Amino acid sequence: MIFMSLGKFECDRIPYPRNLSSKCGCEFLGRAGRGIGSVDVPRGILFHNYTHNNKGICTKANCIIPANQNHHNIEKDFRAFAPTLLDKPEKEIVLNLEMLVRAYDPCISCSTHYLKVKFV
């Protein structure tokens, strides 16, 4: 049963169809361990790993999302692209830099909060 790989707390919170019990019905024996996985997602590859203590409680989780993997390349592109925009109005500079970020297809949060341009 797939739910046996989840901690008891997570197993009991899974929404079940009406005709099934809200509890998983399996005996849960906690065991310490670490699981690592990766999955292809629309913007790249999501890497994730989880550590559980001997009670089966997740004590550490780490997700490396595609937006983080692209951050270095976005910054390199900023350094190359920004000098070509210096003769443009400030609004156009900001728009072009925002377009550069969105070209990497980041998540909605990153695409709207990634860039704060400060003119000096």
d(CA 78, CA 71): 11
Tokens 């079940």 -> residue: 16
Closest listed residue to residue 57, CA positions, set 9, 12, 2, 5: 9
* β-bridge partners, 64: 47
Nearest to 109 by CA among 65, 44, 75, 79: 65
What digits encode the pLDDT tens for the residues 92-108? 998 998 888 888 766 66
pLDDT in tens, 24-54: 565 556 678 899 999 888 778 889 899 988 8
Report residue 70's pLDDT band, with 50, 70 and 90 as the boundaries. confident
Q: Which amino acid is at 71?
A: H
Q: Provide the pLDDT for residue 28.
A: 57
Domain extents in the chain: 1-28, 31-64, 67-113
